[in-house]
Amino acid sequence: MSVIVDVKKIKRPASLSEIAYEAIKKSLLQMDLSAIEDEQRIDERTLAEKLGISRTPVREAINRLVIEGYLKVVPRKGVFVVKKSKKEIVEILLVRAVLEGLAAKLATENVTREEIERMRDIFTPFNERNIRRKFLDYADANIKFHELVLQISQCGKLIELAGSIFDHMRWIRFQSVVHEDRLIKSHREHLKIIDALELRDPDLAERLMKKHIEELALYVQMGNSQNSVKLANS
């Protein structure tokens, strides 16, 4: 008689093209696009040498990043890093507003007391007096908050779509600027969104989240840069 052995399915190792994709994308997300004045060309041969692999998987990775909007192919010139226009940044923010508004609405059905406390803890180190000085830390806290709301929504497809948008927002964070007053207002808006989630008010949570991101889109569109600091995602 045969015996059923409890084993787990063997995971296939990542392909070289997948490894190249992740490495190149990570490098792109860490770039300060504000420091790029001219078009930044990507050299396939150099990338392959640095990664220690052949050019074929690198080419496959580049093609994928072109489709996702991080790179572009210019005929007879090569592959270049995409630098988002103000219009594209605003469009990304408007899409985020819709997706995250829905995420906030769904999150009211699932959020726990512990998760509410986690949200408040994220912003505990900040106040209206130190927010400019701690801007980079606040930017990280902001990302954690928005991603937490998405996770709490428990909507897989929504998380997938918004995740792609978040990558682009991380990437363009150095391309736009935000006045200190907008930072303070953004901080207040975050706290009001947490209050709405705690009240489990779906309509209020959706409205506040949507307005929060739409106002940043409007701000970017207006191009207000007086006494500004670098943008790092609403």
86-230 folds as: Four Helix Bundle (Hemerythrin (Met), subunit A) (1.20.120)
> If you write DSSP's letter for every residue of 90-109 in order, what string do you get?
HHHHHHHHHHHHHHHHHHHH
Q: What is the mean pLDDT of residues 195-204?
A: 98
Query: β-pairing, 41-42 with 71-74?
Result: unpaired
Question: How many angstroms separate the CA atoms of 204 and 196, rounded?
Answer: 6
| pLDDT at site 139 | 80
> Which part of the chain has CATH 1.20.120.530?
86-230
Whether the pLDDT of residue 206 is over 70: the answer is: yes
Query: Both tokens of residue 75?
Result: 């005929």
- CATH of range 16-81; options 3.20.20.70, 1.10.940.10, 1.10.10.60, 1.10.10.10: 1.10.10.10
To the nearest whole number, what is the mean pLDDT of the chain?
84
Average pLDDT over residues 86-96: 89
pLDDT for residue 161 is more than 90: no
The rounded radius of gyration (Å) of the Cα atoms in the chain is 21
Q: What is the average pLDDT across 95-115?
A: 97
Q: Which residue has the higher pLDDT, 38 or 123?
A: 123
Residues 23-45 have a mean pLDDT of 77
Residue 30: which pLDDT band, with cuts at 50, 70 and 90? confident
The neighbouring-strand residues paired with 74 are 78
Check: CB of residue 178 under 8 Å from CB of residue 135.
no
Label the pairing between strands 78-81 and 41-42. Answer: antiparallel
- pLDDT category at 178 given cuts 50, 70, 90 is low
User: What is this structure's pTM?
Assistant: 0.72
Residues of the chain with CATH 1.10.10.10: 16-81
Query: Do residues 78 and 42 touch, judged by C-beta distance below 8 A?
Result: yes
pLDDT of amino acid 86: 82
Alpha-carbon distance 43 to 62, whole Å? Answer: 10
Helix (H) or strand (E) holding 48: helix 44-51
Q: Which of 82, 83, 85, 81 is nearest to 93 (CA)?
A: 85
